[in-house]
């Protein structure tokens, strides 16, 4: 993995081509927080890397549907703003575990339905949907990502599910 002129790791050309074609959900873990407790904002390094990520995506002409969706925590919102400028808080992204909760209660069922909808929804033609949330392994289907790690998902459309396609750590 090479460093780009922007100072972040560059994914393989095949992944870049996929992203440029669009049609994916990009699930990012937030950038490095200032602290590991409470609801911290980003560290200076986390802020810088989030900006670099956004710059790199724009340089590569990877289209992103705006606003990007973030969980309600400060670190996810700051990551989204630094990289993409335009965010919308999506409460359900703070509850990713409900996707795989056995015997969910009514509130969990509602969150699960919203999350499934986000993950199955097809982005606009030639574009990608971005979700900025937290470390998540999709029920151990993939290794949890470090800060600014990406899980690339291919949505199949409403009621048709989604597929984990690839992952990369920026």
* Domain spans in the chain, listed from the N-terminal domain onward: 24-169
Query: What's the pLDDT score for residue 1?
Result: 44
How far apart (Å, rounded) are the C-alpha atoms in residues 81 and 85?
Answer: 4
pLDDT digits (tens, 9 = 90+) for 138-161: 988 998 899 999 999 999 999 999
Q: How far apart are CA 54 and CA 7, in angstroms?
A: 12
pLDDT higher than threshold 70 for residue 170 = yes
Could you report the per-residue pLDDT of 70-93, keeping only the tens digit for each? 999 999 999 999 999 999 999 999
Of the chain, the percentage scoring pLDDT greater than 90 comes to 89
Topology of domain 24-169 in CATH is Rossmann fold (3.40.50)
Q: Evaluate if pTM is beyond 0.85.
A: yes
pLDDT (mean) for 25-31: 98
DSSP of 26-91: EEEEPPPBS-SSSS--B-HHHHHHHHHHHHHHHHTT--B-SSEEE-SSHHHHHHHHHHHS-EEE-G
């Amino acid at each position: 993995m090479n460093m780009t002129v922007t100072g972040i790791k560059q994914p393989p050309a095949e992944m870049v081509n996929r992203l440029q074609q669009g049609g994916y959900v990009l699930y990012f873990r937030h950038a490095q927080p200032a602290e590991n407790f409470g609801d911290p904002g980003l560290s200076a390094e986390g802020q810088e890397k989030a900006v670099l990520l956004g710059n790199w995506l724009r340089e590569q002409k990877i289209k992103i549907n705006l606003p990007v969706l973030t969980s309600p925590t400060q670190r996810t919102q700051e990551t989204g703003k630094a990289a993409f400028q335009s965010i919308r808080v999506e409460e359900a992204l703070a509850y990713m575990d409900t996707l795989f909760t056995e015997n969910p209660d009514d509130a969990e069922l509602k969150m699960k339905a919203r999350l499934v909808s986000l993950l199955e929804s097809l982005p606009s033609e030639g574009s990608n949907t971005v979700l900025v949330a937290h470390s998540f392994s999709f029920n151990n289907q993939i290794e949890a990502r470090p800060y600014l790690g990406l899980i690339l998902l291919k949505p199949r459309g409403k009621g048709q599910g989604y597929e984990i396609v690839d992952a990369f750590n920026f």
